[in-house]
Amino acid sequence: MKLVRFRIQEHGRSRLGFLTPLGIIDADSCWRLYCLNHELDAPPLPISPRRLLAEGSERMAQARAASEWILASGSTPTVLFNVGKVRLQAPVGRPPKILCIARNYRDHCVEQGVGAPSSPVVFAKYATAIAAPGDPIVRPRITVKLDYEAELGVVIGRPGRHIPEDRALEHVGGYMNFNDVSARDLQAADGQWLRGKSCDTFAPIGPALVTPDEAPDPQNLRIQCRVNGETVQDANTSQMIFSVAHLISFISEFLTLEVGDVIATGTPHGVGHVRKPPRFLNPGDRVEVEIEKLGVLANTVVDEV
């Protein structure tokens, strides 16, 4: 399934939805019809993908059964919304943790003139950096060197600590596009990455949380970034130095992974600051992160006012 959070109106209530080729199915209305038709007395579905993950595999199976039934029944007009007529929100609104991986593609290491790491390099972003599909990426007043980084985002669906690598993918709730927006001048000035990586809107995610059954092999997904329609990054997740399973296992050795945690798995070559001449983002630039099976995440840059 492709799970989304959306609003019908700009300031309306947040809803859980199923993204389909026909549009977005409102999960609550779909579930009510499904229960009525099947004479089920069951509690309503939660209002977000994260809460659905937290309720466990049985509830996820119920949601899948309802979405498949509504599509097969022909009752979709009563619960279906046009994607262009609603306001998509970030699939995971305020993740407990945003854990990012640096230098996880060899070609990206080469373009920066650094060696490949012997173990994952982990840093963090704060939840205030999250931006939804279509939200502006706000360039702060304190930077002129704004950069893009297309990444595969992994959302934890089952908590754990000391997770064996061969069981790690069992803890994945889904995958989504992630743009690790970066202020390169702040990174260089500070000598570490917190300020340059965690400004507001520096973590656009979405458009959907795609469950693992729709992307069973996270190590074979084409990943691209486009700026104003021009492809600036084009790679495959098979080129990662450390796999998704390895990253989950590695991280779980020093902290507890919780439902809703996001792991951004690193960016491939092609980032703006190492180009000759450098290519930094400016107001009006449209940045698209496209990952095979996961869709397109699009955001436009604006200046802070």
Average pLDDT, stretch 204-223?
98
Segments forming the whole domain that contains residue 55? 2-88
Average pLDDT, stretch 263-276?
98
Token pair in block for residue 94: 């305020």
Domains of the chain: total: 2
What is the DSSP secondary-structure string of 12-31? S--EEEEEETTEEEEHHHHH
Check whether 120 has a pLDDT greater than 80. Answer: yes
Q: According to the model, what pLDDT value does residue 33 have?
A: 94
Q: According to the model, what pLDDT value does residue 75 have?
A: 73
Q: According to the model, what pLDDT value does residue 76 have?
A: 75
Domain boundary among 34, 69, 88: 88
Specify whether 25 is located in the same domain as 119.
no
pTM recorded for the entire structure = 0.97
272-284 pLDDT per residue, tens = 999 999 999 999 9
64-119 pLDDT per residue, tens = 999 999 999 887 777 999 999 999 999 999 999 999 999 999 999 999 999 999 99
Average pLDDT, stretch 55-63?
96
Specify whether 6 is located in the same domain as 136.
no
Contacts of 84 (CB under 8 A, 6+ apart): none
When the pLDDT of each residue in the chain is averaged and rounded to a whole number, the result is 96
127-178 pLDDT per residue, tens = 999 999 999 999 999 999 999 999 999 999 999 999 999 999 999 999 999 9
Check whether 234 has a pLDDT greater than 80. Answer: yes
Domain boundary among 66, 88, 110: 88
DSSP state of 48: S
CA 1 to chain centre: 15
Average pLDDT, stretch 179-188?
97
CA 123 to chain centre: 17
Dihedral sign from CA coordinates of 21, 219, 244, 105: negative
Specify whether 23 is located in the same domain as 132.
no
Specify whether 72 is located in the same domain as 99.
no
Three-state DSSP string of 153-222: EEEECCCECCCCHHHHHHHEEEEEEEECCEEHHHHHHHCCCHHHHCCCCCEEEEEEEECHHHCCCCCCCE
Specify whether 223 is located in the same domain as 84.
no
Specify whether 143 is located in the same domain as 249.
yes
Residue in 54, 37, 47, 60 with CA at minimum distance from that of residue 17: 47
Contact 79, 26 (CB under 8 A): yes
Check whether 209 has a pLDDT greater than 90. Answer: yes
